Amino acid sequence: MRVIKIGFLLMVALLSTLSHADPVLSRSNMESYFAAMQAIKPLETRYADAFAEMEAQTESMSLADGGKQLADILRSQSFAGEVEQVLKANGFNSIEAFSAYSVKLLSGLMVQSFAESKPEMEQAMAQFDAQVQQMKQAGASPDMIRQMESGMAEAKRMLKEYQYAEHNLSAADKAAVAQNFEWLQAEFMKLNP
């Protein structure tokens, strides 16, 4: 009997660890996320230059790293302890848990936003690629071609991020984002009026 109790307790401990490591995109978890984001706002004001620099650093962040880059950037700040206090007060165990949730939520938003336009986006990229080739053959300036190729590279990177998110996000998380999509958009608008 004692072995069964110990086994049960170990299983409960493991499951609770897993649920904190990868929380679902439920409405209540999303509400905690936005409460944390609102609570971070005073820190953004106090450390405006650092937050601007962090934003620039995360522009090329890949969803595939699961929030590791974001967590590393936040951890490297002199005010990381203040950020972690705010996050813990709003239901996140750590900067890493918050960063992973942020990436998961952004993945869901990307999937929902691009789901209907994916075929058109792929077609437009193929047409753009053909246009660049025509410009090269016509002798367009190298600067113009580099600019167009740079824009194309960014569009391809975004498509790759979308494909990663689409493939790796659970059906339950996709459904949660779809059900809350308008609310999510409104909440993000409140963060950046």
Q: Is residue 181 helix, strand or coil?
A: helix
- Calculate Rg over the CA atoms of the chain: 21
Enter the tokens of residue 161.
């991020």
Q: What is the pTM of this model?
A: 0.76
- 8 Å CB contact between 125 and 153: no
Dihedrals phi, psi of 29, to nearest 5 degrees: -65, -35
- 8 Å CB contact between 40 and 90: no
Helices of type H across the chain: 2-21, 27-46, 48-58, 68-75, 80-89, 95-114, 118-138, 142-168, 171-179, 181-191
Residue closest to 103 by CA, chosen among 137, 47, 64:
64
Please determine, for residue 13, whether its predicted confidence score (pLDDT) is greater than 60. no
> What pLDDT was estimated at residue 11?
33
**CA gap 23, 94 in Å, rounded:** 13
Q: pLDDT digits over 34-56, tens only?
A: 999 999 999 999 999 998 998 88
> What pLDDT was estimated at residue 19?
35
Provide the residue count of the chain.
193
> What pLDDT was estimated at residue 187?
94
Q: Considering only residues 153 and 85, tell me which one the structure prediction assigns the higher pLDDT.
A: 85
> What pLDDT was estimated at residue 16?
32
Q: Is residue 90 helix, strand or coil?
A: coil
